[in-house]
Each structure stands twice: as C-alpha cells, then as structure tokens.
Amino acid sequence: MERRDKFVLVALTCAAILLTGSALLEAKPARDPVSGEASVSGKVPTMTGTGTMVIRGQEAKIRITTMLLGPPRVSDDGTEHAKTTHKIEILDEDGDVARTIITEDAAVSEPIGVSPDDGFMEYKLNANMKVVEGGTGRLHAHGILRMRVVSPTDIDVEASYRINGVIGD
C-alpha cells in the first residue's frame, strides 16, 4: 500500500470514528435515575397525594394527581387493567413547583383479598409510566391499591407505591 493510500485510509477511519461518536452522543439525551415513594387517595376517577423522589442524588417532595382514563378491563381472575395518567409536581426547598412531569400509564392491579379491618378490596399494583410532558423517560410503580365500592358511582381508592425509573430533560 502506498503512503498516500495509507493516509487516505487513516483519514477516512478517523472521520468515521468522529461521526459515529458524535451521533451516539446526540442520540442519547441525559437521563437521571429516580426513585421514591408516594401515596394517593380519593374517589374514582381522581386521586391526589404526596411523596418523595430522589433525583440526581437529591431528595425532593412531590405532589401527585392520578386520574383513571376510563373504566378498567377486568380479566377472568379479577385482575384489572387500566389506563391512567399521573401529574407529578416536583417541589423545590420552598415548596414551590420546580418541575412538572406528566405520564401516560398502563396499570395492572392483581387481587390479593379483602381487608378484614375496613372492607377495602386490596390489589398488588404495577404500573408502567411513560413520561409524555416535562421530560422524557419511563417510571415504574409497584405497591398496594385499595378500593371500596360504596355505590357504582362512589368508589374510594387508596394506593401506596414505590417509584423507580429514569427521567431526562
């Protein structure tokens, strides 16, 4: 191989490495791991609550609004499949809203049984939450959902869960 051919080969290799490296950097937005816990309560279709999240190693208080987006689909074993949305307000040190994240969720609630103390039906809750506003990323919620049907239009709900996943700017 001639010297000129070696130079061209080295130049093309360097250009390919630079282009590939810059494309990889542009393709992956910064994402921060998050974790936390929350609890909500209310009447179907809207529940509100509070919790904490750790983002970039810093713990922040959060306010959460959960909304059921239509009636759940119930399978033969009593498992409920629901579409929900969460509005998560991350508060600053003064208690003001520093950031708002909106998610669209697929929630699955698997029946555990009826609480002998208060008659609430208890479910194991798992939700996959896609961030659709206020950033990018995915969150997952795992916990306990409790429901009591007072009447077909009056349903009490309580839920407590852990949250983990990643969010980006």
Question: What are the Cα distances from residue 125, in Å, to 82, 84, 108, 156?
Answer: 11, 12, 6, 16
- Continuous segment of H or E residues that includes residue 17: helix 3-27
Question: What are the Cα distances from residue 149, in Å, to 24, 102, 120, 134?
Answer: 51, 28, 8, 34
Closest CA to 69 of 46, 40, 93: 46
**Mean pLDDT for the chain overall:** 87
Q: What is the tens place of the pLDDT at every residue in 20-70?
A: 444 444 445 568 899 999 999 999 999 999 999 998 889 999 999 999 999
pTM of the model: 0.81
Q: What is the tens place of the pLDDT at every residue in 65-85?
A: 999 999 999 999 999 999 999
Phi, psi torsion values for 70, nearest 5 degrees: 110, 170
Q: What is the DSSP letter of 72?
A: P
Instruction: Band the pLDDT of 5: cuts 50, 70, 90.
Output: low
Instruction: State residue 23's pLDDT score.
Output: 42
